[in-house]
Structure 1
Amino acid sequence: MKAFTYERANSLAQAATGSSKPGAKIIAGGTNLLDLMKLQVEAPNHLVDINRLPLDKIEDTPEGGLRIGAMVRNSDLAADLRVRQRYGVLSRALLSGASAQLRNKATTGGNLLQRTRCYYFYDITKPCNKRDPGSGCAAIGGFNRIHAILGASDKCIAVNPSDMAVALRALDAQVETVNADNVTRAIPIAEFHRLPGETPQIETTLRQGEVITAVTLPPPPPGKHIYRKVRDRASYAFALVSVAAVVDAAGGRIRSARLAFGGLAPKPWRVASAEDRLIGASASDRTFDSVASDVLDGARGFGGNDFKIPLTRRTLRAVMTEASLT
């Protein structure tokens, strides 16, 4: 690990100012950043600790939603009665991630900012455009079993690893931020993560010195909340394919549906035309196949991850069958 300086922020203004410095990083739970520093994937010259900031509350909003502080731990968020009763898809997504020990440390803001688990990104002896722009992408033509089939580019085919973000995408969350000048923003979760394009090293729309303060959820959508995660082992594994679904069905027909996918792309993936196709439809294989075709429009495998295309179809069918039959 390389040498760095450290400060403990006692205010949002101090945190934003400190993180505005070139090479600075914010640290909260540290469940991802510390690992990356040990491997020299990340080498910040200055760390700003925000653990003392009062950002650990879950509060009801006047509109009937929830405001989740950036420092709320994943385990506390998953266990909160309001989240369990009104936003079950979020609670289930959080509980499917990592391990209990990590969920006790990991924060809401940090979860949104965790880096990809691409093998080549973690190995500094291998080329990686995300880690070293212009060096190439070793995953293309390499071992790419966990990699993207949607939204990738010829510069990077890594996926976003967050389970929480997939559920937040289905719930139309917003990410609140503040900078050193006390200017605030509310970023729709759909716009928070970026596709790689020509600049895979830029993963979010956050600006230097901008601090995540909270995530806001609108009033809960009606319907059954489901989070299904397909992975290589039952715990402590990242998604090959995951689906966050909120489906309102009655009388054998679907009245509304929200579908967000993980493990497929560099950001949580949601396709409006697929959801629209479900409205008024019955639970049939033909309907589900058409919806899957909308979701997978433009999908491309890279050899080792070709199986994700049929796996996505099967996973979606299982989720929709569960949602429409209960």
Structure 2
Amino acid sequence: MKPFEYQQAHGLGEAHQLLVADGGKPIAGGTNLLDLMKLEVETPSALVDVNRLPLGGIVEHGEGLHIGALVSNSACAADPRIRGQYPVLARAILAGATFQLRNKATTGGNLCQRTRCYYFYDLSQACNKREPGTGCAAIGGFNRIHAILGASDACIATYPGDMAVALSALDATVEIHDAKGEKRMVPVREFHRLPGDTPERDNVLEAGDVITGVVLPAPSGGTQLYRKVRDRASYAFALVSVAAVLQVEDGVIAKARLAFGGLAHKPWHDPRVEALLEGEAPSDALFDQAAALLLDEAREQGSNDFKIPLTRRTLKAVLREATGGTL
């Protein structure tokens, strides 16, 4: 690990100043950042500890909830309001990591976690995300966990998290304060970026930005599911995951909100699939159409070809369960 400066911020304004002045990174739980620093994948000159900022509560926000950026994953998943009104979020969080990591990891940090691509972590391998312009060893290499949607010729890495997939299905918003002290609200579906020609940029955060919270809209009710397909029953990243919020009324799908993990550089959301489902009676034929539409631009990479049929089967199983059918 390379040497770095460590400073504590006692207020949001001080955090902005320290981040801009030192070109450092904010740290809360550090469950991903510290690992990357040990491997020298990340080499910030300074760390700004934001744990003293008053961002640790879950409070009512209009008809929804505001989750502070420093709320731990464990606290979020255990909150009765989250469990009762936004169960897909609780289930997604509990599907990820270990008890110890969930106790330490924060809402804001979880959103900023980086890919688990093997080549990103290996300094001897070409990686445009780690070192722009060097190439992508995953393309043509062993790419079993890599993207089938939204990838580019520069990067085929996937976003590894679970929480953000559920937040996408819930249509949540990320609250960000910038270095000028101004607040902006970014839909979570727009927070993460596709790789394009700049895969080193994971999200829309700029220098000095601090995530201060996540806003959930009013509870939508209906059936909420999170299904994660992985190599092990626990403590493994998703090969494919599906977050679903569905309402069935009078025999037809009145509302469908879907998001997918393990498929792309960001939690994947395709409004075309939702539009196809809404207003239609549940059926295997309809679910087949939804899967075909979702995957119509899927691009196989070799080792990850299995993800296409796996995604199709997983989506159909979730839709069957959410609409009251058998698996």
| Alignment TM-score, normalising by the size of structure 1 | 0.98
- Matched with 1:171 is 170
- Structure 1 CA distance, aligned partners of 2:192 and 2:296? 20
**2:54 alignment partner in structure 1:** 54
The answer for the alignment partner of 1:3 in structure 2 is 3
Report how far residue 251 of structure 1 moved.
Answer: 4.7
Q: 1:243-297 CA distances to partner (integer Å, 9 max, x unpaired)? A: 0000111454311111100000001111111111111222222100110111112
**2: distance between equivalents of 1:250 and 1:55?**
39
Give CA-to-partner distance per residue, 1:66-89, whole Å, 9 cap, x none.
000000000000000000000000
| Cα separation, 2, equivalents of 1:39 and 1:194 | 24
Superposed CA RMSD in Å reads: 1.0
Shift of 1:22: 5.4
Q: Which runs of 4+ in 1 moved over 6 A?
A: none
Paired residue for 1:259? 258
CA shift at 1:119, angstroms? 0.3
Correspondence for 1:35: 35
Work out the CA distance in 1 between the residues paired with 2:269 and 2:306: 20
Q: Secondary structure at 2:21's aligned position in 1?
A: coil
1:91 aligns with 2:90: yes
Q: What does 1:282-301 align with in structure 2 at a 5 Å threshold? A: 282-301=281-300
Q: Distance in 2 between matches of 1:197 and 1:205?
A: 14
Please report how far the alpha carbon of residue 17 of structure 1 lies from its aligned counterpart in structure 2 after TM superposition: 1.3
Task: Report the equivalent of 2:240.
Answer: 241
What is the match of residue 303 of structure 2? Answer: 304
How far apart in 1 are the matches of 2:251 and 2:175? 39
Q: Per-residue deviation at 1:21?
A: 3.4
1:253 touches 1:324 (CA, 8 Å); kept in 2? no
Q: 3-state SS of the aligned residue for 1:21?
A: helix
CA contact (8 A) 1:89 1:227 kept: yes
Distance in 2 of aligned mates of 1:289 and 1:106: 37
In structure 2, the partner of 1:194 is 193
Q: Is the 8 A contact 2:85 2:221 kept in 1?
A: no
Secondary structure (helix, strand or coil) at the match of 1:325 reads coil
2:108 is equivalent to residue 116 of structure 1: no
What one-letter code is carried by the residue in structure 1 that aligns with 2:21?
K
1:86-165 map, 5 Å: 86-165=85-164
Name the residue aligned to 1:21: 21
What count of residue pairs does the alignment treat as equivalent? Answer: 325
Encode CA deviations 1:71-121: one digit per residue, 9 max, x unaligned: 000000000000000000000000001111100000000000000000000
Q: Which moved more, 1:310-319 or 1:280-289?
A: 280-289
- TM-score normalised according to structure 2 size: 0.98
Letter in structure 1 aligned against 2:215: T
**Mean CA deviation greater in 97-106 or 172-181:** 172-181
Q: Which residue of 2 aligns with 1:68?
A: 67
